[in-house]
Amino acid sequence: GHATSASGAPLPASALSWRSIREARFQLNRSSSENLPFSEAVRINVLDAFNGGGAQNFSTDSNRTYEFGNLFTRVGDVITLKTGVEGAYRTSLSHSTNNFDGTFTFSSLESYLAGRPLTFRVTRGNPTLELKQLEMAAFVQTDVTVNSQLTLMFGARYEAQQNLNDYNNLDPRVGFAYAPGDATVIRGGGGIFHSRLQTNMVETQRRLNGTHQFEIVIDDPSYPDPFVAGTIRQTVPSVRATDPNLVAPYVAAGMISLERTFLDNLLFTATYDIVREYHRLRSRNLNAPYDARFEERRACDLDTPDAFCLAPDPTRGQVINLESTGNDIKHTLRLEVSKRFNIFNGEVDYEIQRVRGDVQGGPGTLLSNAYDLRADWGRSPQPTHRLEAELNASLPLGVFVAGDLEFNSGRYYTIVTGRDINRDSNVNDRPPGQAPNTERGPKYFNVDFNISKAFYFRRAAGSASGMNVNVFANMTNAFNHVHYNNPSGVMSWPNFRRITSASNPREIEIGMRFQF
């Protein structure tokens, strides 16, 4: 077998025979970091306008990861077998005072100038947390050569981890490659792919579990001192909880592709894949107020009398529950063409994508309506159409030129009211009946250029590399096209639906690198 060096570089594997190879590995990674904010003052968040005040993100982290694995490969004339196990043991010790001074959220510039915030949030408790997590996996895969034109693949993988009581994670996978002719290859396959519960999410859940740390949320607080009596409705602690039925998210994916070569070196590829993700992680406020006038629980609105807008447990604040109830589905069609023209190489990629889901953000995103799990179902913010093109050339005298073009049809964005309509202390409410990401932002078009030349001092015989000075010029946004950002989607802001920002104009960078 073999191990890895202290730096993680692999050492030679063991050849049991000319057909069998066993590879063992072990790797230790250690890392530490410290984040020192410039200011620890109270944070100000004015929706879709600006963020100000202190950073409040002092933190230190010390992490160790022990990774190990064993892979066995048996090569046969018809069947090739691969099987192995792998695992990781992760430990971390972190210290964080994030939001220990609190954050005021304002719905608009007018409310900020008038000193009328929507909410104030502040974290209290122990800033130090220790975490350990063991992850294990095993797999088997066979490649079967049916004939010179057809190859089949069958496999399965099993995963389990600490900090997640979900052990039903067996992932079958199949695939094939078929070459009906010298210039055509058809590939396809499908399978199940489970994800792991990352340590940073486990840490967040444990850090704000109500015992280690908790959050105080005040609705309609006074300003600048949020704890002065008046319109304060809620000062009880808010905590995070983990659903006892939490399971690992998984993806069911299928793909089919066609590769065809024309005119010796014109390669065309068409690929279609469908990806369905189940049990996506998201968060829900279990103690969100509900309208008591109805038998079936529903969220409050602005017309709900205060006497009927009740929290399930009035003695508690928000109970942010991490659960695996989200889903999405993605269809993608990709077309790629590449061609070599003497000294030029060119490639064009086009993609059209349709994504629908009910987790509008990363893992753990908070639902906008705790009593309607389908309310956040909608399209992804990603653009529907994308086009990328690349052209490079090796010119006489050793000059290298490259150009890149990128176009997309515009990212989508969501209309939000800028008000806490359902009175759950989270300002993420959309107008009634409005789905996420219904509005499309400006199209994007950009061209970059690069030109470079290497001056060699010493070059190894028969090699294209050696000691040299490389002089280069990069031009970003070469045509100085205005790249508008999305308009404001906050209805309470004066610039609602107006574009107020753009990305960088043309930039030219000139420099040199010494390579040896």
186 and 180 Cβ atoms separated by less than 8 Å: yes
Q: Name the β-bridge partners of 176.
A: 152, 188
CA dihedral 485, 489, 492, 495 (to 10 degrees): 30
The DSSP string of 71-97 is EEEE--SSEEEEEEEEEEEEEEEEEE-
Report the alpha-carbon distance of residue 494 to residue 240 in Å, rounded: 35
Q: Measured at the alpha carbon of residue 355, what is the angle toward residues 324 and 412, in degrees to the nearest 5?
A: 110
Q: Please, what sign has the CA dihedral across residues 208, 212, 213, 214?
A: positive
Q: What is the DSSP letter of 381?
A: S
What is the full per-residue pLDDT of the chain (516 aa) written as tens digits? 333 333 444 444 566 677 899 999 999 999 999 999 888 889 999 987 888 998 888 999 999 999 999 999 999 999 999 999 999 999 999 999 999 999 999 988 889 999 999 889 999 999 999 999 999 999 999 999 999 999 999 999 999 999 999 999 999 999 999 999 889 999 999 999 999 999 999 999 999 898 899 998 888 899 999 888 544 555 678 899 999 999 999 999 999 999 999 888 899 999 999 999 999 999 999 999 999 999 999 999 989 999 999 999 988 889 999 999 999 999 999 999 999 888 889 999 999 999 999 998 888 999 999 999 999 999 999 999 999 999 999 898 889 999 999 999 999 999 999 889 999 888 889 998 899 999 999 999 999 999 999 888 876 665 666 788 999 999 999 999 999 999 999 998 888 999 999 999 999 999 998 887
Those residues whose C-beta lies under 8 Å from the C-beta of residue 249, and which sit 6 or more positions away, are 194, 195, 277, 278, 279, 280, 281, 324, 326, 363
- Tokens linked to 424: 């759950």
156 and 176 Cβ atoms separated by less than 8 Å: no
pLDDT at res. 7: 41
SS3 397: helix
Those residues whose C-beta lies under 8 Å from the C-beta of residue 307, and which sit 6 or more positions away, are none
Report the alpha-carbon distance of residue 420 to residue 425 in Å, rounded: 6
pLDDT at res. 465: 67
Report the alpha-carbon distance of residue 415 to residue 368 in Å, rounded: 13
Please tell me the pTM assigned to this model: 0.85
Q: How many CA atoms lie within 13 A of 448 on its CB side?
A: 14
> SS3 sequence, 126-179?
CCEEEEEEEEEEEEEEEEEECCCCEEEEEEEEEEEECCCCCCCCEEEEEEEEEE
Burial of 390 (0-12, 13-18, 19+ CB in 10 A): middle
Report the alpha-carbon distance of residue 317 to residue 256 in Å, rounded: 50
